[in-house]
Amino acid sequence: MAFTGSRRQFLRCALAGAAGLALQPYARTAMANRDAHRPPNIVVIFTDDMGWGDIGVFGHPTIRTPNLDRMAAEGQKWTSFYVAASVCTPSRAGLMTGRYPVRSGMASDRRRVLFPNSNGGLPQSELTIAGALKQVGYATACIGKWHLGHLPEFLPTEHGFDSYYGIPYSNDMARTREGDYIAMNKNPRVEYFNVPLMRDTEIIEQPADQTTITRRFTEETVNFIKANRDRPFFAYLAHSMPHVPLFRSDAFEDVSRAGRYGDVIEEIDWSAGRIMDTLRELELADNTLVLFTSDNGPWNLLFTTHAGLPGPFRGGKGTTWEGGVRVPTIFWWPGTIQPGVVMDMGTALDMLPTFAALAGVSLPDDRVYDGYDLSPVLLNEASSPRDSFIYYRGEQVYAARRGAYKAHFITQGAYGSGRERTEHEVPELYNVEIDPAERKDIAEEHPDIIAEIRAMVERHKATVEPVENQLTK
Ligand code: MG
């Protein structure tokens, strides 16, 4: 049974279920099971630069994603799910810490992400999802792209992960030749990008063979799950694809009607299927929460056919339009999550408090969190506690959403788009439920709503304290 965004509609669905459809009380049963056994395993599958519109069930016409479509049919498809930033490093800092990246120094107006010559990274003082779950005995593995600092003190093994297998920064970095960056990415060769593959703290391959990287990250995750089947585990599988340069294994070469980009997504879909099949085979599916989502919107504005689609949304990677930060999101937990479509807001910032609640972890109260516990929504007991979202570009608030209304205080195009940074004395205002593509500025009709959003932003800003910037270090 699908349910939709508003509290009223949700209640109506819930009452209909209670009245006559004889639905199982999944949530209560699952709670009882968890109490009797152990906290749930958690698997986060995090793709890089995948667009909202790149999955069949999110509307792509020619990319085949049968596994993700099934995952959505069996789980919850979230249509208003955001990440904390529209580029890699700050988005990942937000996911891992439950805090806007400006709070940890992981956002910058001058260098938007970490590079191979960066000296900074996620500070030791930050508590990650892995660090929190370790406190209650979870086995933890980071597999894939990290991008929160490649120097020894910033690696995943210093942030609560028992093990690490992956690349420490983006797959388009450490270029071995000069020349046209876009052309190099559109006609890529492995040796153009001298990206290291690491195991724990050691480099084991350089350049990483990116043609097999999605397959190898997947097998590593499957092996981790098998090895830890008898204890709670957290697997963070952060694919480096479909960030340019696009690579796929031989088995996925020229298989998609959507070209090379489609091949890459279809391999990621295969990967998600492998994970879910493994969980079923090991009889762990009913005690494992799987989240599938992306770190930011597609790089469509620069890479066209070598990038994804933002679905119905405006803009893409690098922008604070919806296409930059609204990402395709599926939660799967057979027997516990009741299938449905959730139109309420959720964000990657909410994952730390959500997972902590499910695992029974108390978070330290010495810092500001920006996340909400979404577990009541996952367990089908409530509508989302989140009614607002702040859109950052670097260290600055560009826009804010409250309910259906989103105000843009500053607008700017993506890299190389030609649209200059513009500060708006009267913000642009959109109703992103009626107008998800942000086409019709309705600011003139709603000065009261703008005032409310402005006040909300000021309250938020008052909680942000200056810290050392890690990206410009
Ligand atoms: Mg990214």
Residues contacting residue 157 through CB under 8 Å, at least 6 positions apart: 163, 164, 200, 201
pLDDT on residue 414: 81
Distance in angstroms (rounded) separating the CA atoms of residues 199 and 201: 6
Q: End of a domain among 357, 382, 407?
A: 382
Distance in angstroms (rounded) separating the CA atoms of residues 471 and 473: 6
CA of 328 to the centre of ligand 1 (A): 13
Q: What is the CATH number of the domain that holds 456?
A: 3.30.1120.10
Does one domain contain both 198 and 134?
yes
Does one domain contain both 369 and 452?
no
Domain membership of residue 334 as a residue range:
39-382
Task: Count structural domains, the chain.
Answer: 2
pLDDT on residue 251: 98
Tokens in use for 473?
Answer: 């270090």
Distance in angstroms (rounded) separating the CA atoms of residues 347 and 304: 26
Distance in angstroms (rounded) separating the CA atoms of residues 411 and 423: 7
CA of 265 to the centre of ligand 1 (A): 14
Distance in angstroms (rounded) separating the CA atoms of residues 355 and 145: 21
Neighbours of 363 (CB within 10 A): 16
Q: End of a domain among 382, 416, 442?
A: 382
Q: End of a domain among 382, 408, 443?
A: 382
| Active-site choice (60, 88, 159, 306) | 88
Does one domain contain both 58 and 120?
yes
Residue 468 covered by a domain: no
Between helix 259-281 and helix 66-74 the angle, nearest 10°, is 50
Sign for the CA dihedral angle at 3, 345, 114, 155 comes to negative
Percentage helix, strand, coil, to 5, in the chain? 35, 20, 45
What stretches of 223-314 adopt beta strand conformation (E)?
Answer: 233-238, 288-294
pLDDT on residue 38: 87
Distance in angstroms (rounded) separating the CA atoms of residues 71 and 293: 12
Q: What is the CATH number of the domain that holds 103?
A: 3.40.720.10
| Active-site choice (13, 60, 142, 147) | 147
Residue 219 covered by a domain: yes
Does one domain contain both 377 and 394?
no
Short-list 83, 144, 59, CA closest to 316: 83
Short-list 44, 72, 76, 43, CA closest to 56: 72
Does one domain contain both 258 and 176?
yes
Name residue 389's amino acid: F
Residue 199 covered by a domain: yes
Q: Rounded to the nearest 5°, which phi and psi values hold at 408? A: -100, 115
Whether 147 sits among the annotated catalytic residues: the reply is yes
Looking up tokens 């963070």 gives 236
* Residue-averaged pLDDT of the chain: 92
Does one domain contain both 276 and 401?
no
pLDDT on residue 18: 33
Residue 329's beta-bridge partner residues? Answer: 78
Burial of 425-462, coded b for 16+ CB within 10 Å and e otherwise, reads: eebbbbbbeebbbbeeeebeeeeebbebbeebbeebee
pLDDT on residue 28: 40
pLDDT on residue 338: 82
CA of 167 to the centre of ligand 1 (A): 13
Does one domain contain both 306 and 258?
yes
Does one domain contain both 165 and 195?
yes
CA of 142 to the centre of ligand 1 (A): 17
CA of 295 to the centre of ligand 1 (A): 5
Distance in angstroms (rounded) separating the CA atoms of residues 2 and 7: 14
CA of 235 to the centre of ligand 1 (A): 19
Does one domain contain both 408 and 334?
no
What are the residue ranges in the chain where pLDDT is below 50?
A: 1-35
Tokens in use for 189?
Answer: 């060769």
Tokens in use for 371?
Answer: 């996340």
Looking up tokens 């410009």 gives 472
Tokens in use for 387?
Answer: 């009614």
Looking up tokens 């107006």 gives 109
pLDDT on residue 416: 62
Whether 142 sits among the annotated catalytic residues: the reply is no
Neighbours of 464 (CB within 10 A): 16
Residue 255 covered by a domain: yes
Residue 67 covered by a domain: yes
